[in-house]
Amino acid sequence: MKKKGTHIKSRYLLVILTIICIALVLLTASELVPVTPIRNAAGTLLVPIQTGINKVGDWLNGQEIGQKNARELAKENEALQSKVSDLEEENTVLTENTKELEDLRKLYSLDQDYNDYDKIAATVIAKDSGNWYNSFTVNRGSEDGVEVDMNVLCDGGLAGIVTEVGTNWAKVRSLIDDGNNVSAMLLDSSENCIVTGSLSLMDSGKLALSELSADATVSTGERVVTSNISDKYLPGILIGYVDSVQDDSNLLTKTGYVIPAVDFSSVNHVLIIKQLKETADS
Amino acid sequence: MKKNISIFLIILVTFLVQTSFNLIFPSVLAVPNLVLILTCCNGYMRGKKSGMWTGLLSGLMLDLFYGRILGLTALALLYIGYFNGFLFKVFFDDDIRVPLVAVGISDLAYGVFSYLVRCLSGAKLSFGSGLLYTILPETFCTVLCTIPLYFLYHWLNKKITANELEEEQSPWLRR
């Protein structure tokens, strides 16, 4: 290789770059330098490109479904048709029940179901690169009114919470992330408990349930929703269903597992509730 | 100049694919560390400096985009690039065994580093389950992905070095 110009030995370059990196770490960790504007700029630049890539991904997955053989689809269609008629029947009954439900809700002073909240639809454009974190980025940001701590829904269940907001993107920490704690309650018995995500449970797609009173009667499949006492999550959002519960060795509490309502392996379209818990009551 | 732009474009595309890997292929065992593969390959094919710059740039982009402490991933990838640069001496055209082993070891080291960072940031996680559920699957997928990617990067590198001979070199990227 020909050599021209100033020559820096790679060893020295390593030292220089290491110092730069460590300085960056120290500066950002101690919050001496605000990084949010830089991050925002980077996000704003990358979001359009990622939206494009996401479209490619959607298309690829569409192809995959197209390749399912026709017989399978016909069978599925048949099953769905019978389900439709079942649902139609059920729907009639449910419509009748709605009125009754409204009255009962008033009695329970739970008149603000989360269906009434102002929501905004968003598309997932990136997922965390590593396997250590479980968060994703959506294509809505502060210009659409998204704020930190807003709850994110998917398939009618709680998917996560907004942790960071840029102009046209927002980062959502998903419910199954290792660092996630949600104060929850069992719908039937109104017993309070804590639902946590865990890295070791991530693969099985379950959440851990803890701090449940030993007196509580729990049945498998019971619905778990966010509790009224949670400070970040709006009350009454479906988290999942009880999988199994066992007594702790102290005989005061129970722990168990919850199967989330959301299929976290295929979160693509989400709804962000534009209502923060603190302002929900006022 | 043209060479640097090409390398930067390769880094950018790898980074973009990395961030949306899960969306393109939703049902994989673990997300392979494509950025790390690129860093290793550049170190192996182009030498220490190129490996270092690749690691630093892609690490900074990951840090910026994922809102973690700026510089940590960059630091880890910088060293991975540097150490893989030692392999430049044994670089021999399309021999894939060396990069496979190098990527495997690098990803294990990167996994342990990520685990330590997670512990420092206050996560309760035993090393055993971290290794079993995160580090090992990731390493497996990463090594698997190295096979096609190495040939791709090797082919791109050949194109780049063909132009390189005619052009003036940047003092920062000389081996």
Report the CATH number that the domain containing residue B156 is assigned in CATH. 1.10.1760.20
- Which residue in chain A is spatially nearest to B28 when comparing CA positions? A265
Asked if the Cβ–Cβ distance from B66 to A54 is below 8 Å, we say no
- Supply the pTM of this predicted model: 0.68
Written as one letter, the residue type at A70 is A
B170 occurs within a structural domain: no
The residue of A8, A10, A16 whose CB has the most chain B CBs within 10 angstroms, and thus the best one to mutate to test that interface, is: A10
With respect to residue B80, please indicate whether it lies within any of the assigned structural domains.
Answer: yes
Q: What was the pLDDT predicted at A217?
A: 82
Within-domain flag for B171? no
To test the contact with chain B by mutation, choose from A1, A6, A21 the residue with the greatest count of B C-beta atoms within 10 A, namely A21
Asked if A29 and B69 come within 8 Å (Cβ–Cβ), the reply is yes
pLDDT greater than 70 at residue B173: no
ipTM of this complex prediction, to 2 decimal places: 0.77
| Residue A220 CB-density burial (10 A; 0-12 exposed, 13-18 middle, 19+ buried) | exposed
Q: Return the amino acid letter for A94.
A: L
The tens digit of pLDDT for each residue in B45-102 reads 888 888 999 999 999 888 887 766 788 889 999 999 999 998 888 877 667 888 899 9
For A151-162, what is each residue's pLDDT tens digit? 998 877 888 999
B83 CA to chain A: closest CA distance, Å? Answer: 10
pLDDT digits (tens, 9 = 90+) for A80-92: 888 888 888 888 8
Reported confidence tier of residue A5, pLDDT bands at 50, 70, 90: very low
Q: How far is it, in rounded angstroms, from Cα B142 to Cα B30?
A: 9
**Domain boundaries of chain A, sorted by first residue:** 9-63, 68-111, 119-282
Whether B65 and A27 lie within 8 Å, measured CB to CB: no
Burial B12-22 (b: 16+ CB within 10 A, else e): eebbbebbbbb
Q: Note whether A253 and A214 are within 8 A (CB).
A: yes
| Interface size, chain A vs chain B, as Cβ–Cβ contacts under 8 Å | 156
Tokens 């379209």, located at residue: A269
**pLDDT over threshold 50, residue A1:** no
Phi, psi (degrees; rounded to nearest 5) at A198: -150, 140
The reported pLDDT for the residue numbered B66 is: 75
Of A10, A23, A132, the CB nearest to B49: A10
| Continuous segment of H or E residues that includes residue A77 | helix A70-108
Lowest-pLDDT choice from A12-21, A23-32, A111-120, B130-139: A111-120
Residue B113: domain span: 2-164
Whether A171 sits inside 8 A of B67 (CB atoms) is yes
In a domain, B169, yes or no: no
Q: Which CATH number fits domain A119-282: 3.20.20.20, 3.50.50.60, 2.40.10.350, 1.10.3720.10?
A: 2.40.10.350
**Structural domains of chain B, count:** 1
Residue B59 covered by a domain: yes
Residue-wise over A189-213: b if at least 16 C-beta within 10 A, else e?
Answer: eebbbbbbbbbbbbeeebbbbebbe
Rounded alpha-carbon distances, angstroms, from residue B121 to A30, A44, A170: 14, 27, 22
In a domain, B68, yes or no: yes
Residue B53, in any domain of the structure: yes
φ/ψ bin of B122: left (φ > 0), alpha (ψ from -120 to 50), beta (otherwise):
left
